[in-house]
Amino acid sequence: MPRWCGGRECAVFENVPSRTAEAVCLMRAFEHARPKGPHVVDDPYAHWFLRPLARAAIAYEGVGPDLGRYTDWATDGLLQFVLARHRYIDDALARALRGKVEQVVLLGAGYDMRAYRFAKALRKRPLFEVDHPATSGRKASIVARHAAELPAAEVRRVAVDFEAQSFRDELRKAGFRERRKTFFVWEGVSMYLTRTAVKKTLATLRTMSAPGSQVVLDLWFLPDKHDLGSAARRLSSNLLALLGEPVTFGLHPEDAGSFFERLGFRLQDFADAGVLRRRYLTPTTHIYPTNYVVVCVTRSGRLPRR
């Protein structure tokens, strides 16, 4: 299993809290600060994890909406995808918590605050936050400073060096109950891993949980159109390598069903840019077109032959 920095494979900055996790927080914080609703995602805690300059930008009257608009243009709709992705996962989690799920696991949790935003719906069911020690440690210290402002929640933080430790073993030590119905969130991670690591992780999730457990994750695929936009997207994914977080795994939507089937999952729901736009945004909103989100359900029985 490769080393994840804040949930991402990373050969550089291995002892530094995830930069992309903070960037995602910045997007949620701008959305929360937006004066007019409704909000795609409303995370009142996201700004806690930002550095002073980012906080100042949000606090300055008028900057938030303008910067959000410019960032959306500059990132080719990635801002809107990140917000819609988070909302999609929120909705999937809310449905699961109305059912018989017994525990929740956030793999590569970053600065995710669902444990507190969903504290009432969790009804004291444990939520495990799994991440690299650098990011996990920074989050723990910030949450501790704001403990009086947070609702009670059964949060179990699991710091894992994915290169040297088994996240399955560390989860068990933290009280994870195997072969129980579990809801796994794997957000903003898969595209930064190798194909082997993605398959190994999914196989582990299937083995350690009960049939009917769910995994929600987002995926990226290489655009195959021969136009300037697609060429720019291929180039931008390569440029992430300069930050130590290269995009290394892609899965085309046409291949997703069979990919998960071979690993013992059933593809339950699929949301590409068009679906996310219809559910959460306006008809004219541009969303980054080469990412999508899926909900997969673990199946019982033998895996199909490969």
pLDDT of residue 288: 87
Delimit the domains of the chain by residue range. Answer: 19-298
pLDDT of residue 55: 85
Q: Are 3 and 89 in contact (CB under 8 A)?
A: no
DSSP class per residue in 57-126: HHHSTTHHHHHHHHHHHHTTTHHHHHHHHHHHHHHHHHHHHTTT--EEEEET-TT--HHHHTHHHHTT--
pLDDT of residue 6: 37
To the question of domain 19-298 being in CATH 3.90.420.10, the answer is no
pLDDT of residue 8: 42
Report the relative pairing of strands 291-298 and 214-220 from DSSP bridges: antiparallel
pLDDT of residue 19: 82
Bond before 283 cis per omega within 30 degrees? no
CA–CA dist 90, 185 (Å, integer): 10
Which residues of the chain carry a pLDDT beneath 70? 1-14, 60-75, 223-245, 301-306
Q: What are phi and psi of 224, to 5 degrees?
A: -110, 10
pLDDT of residue 75: 63
Tell me the pLDDT tens digit for each residue of 223-237: 666 655 554 544 455
CA–CA dist 187, 82 (Å, integer): 10
pLDDT of residue 228: 57
pLDDT of residue 43: 96
pLDDT of residue 56: 81
pLDDT of residue 226: 60
pLDDT of residue 58: 79
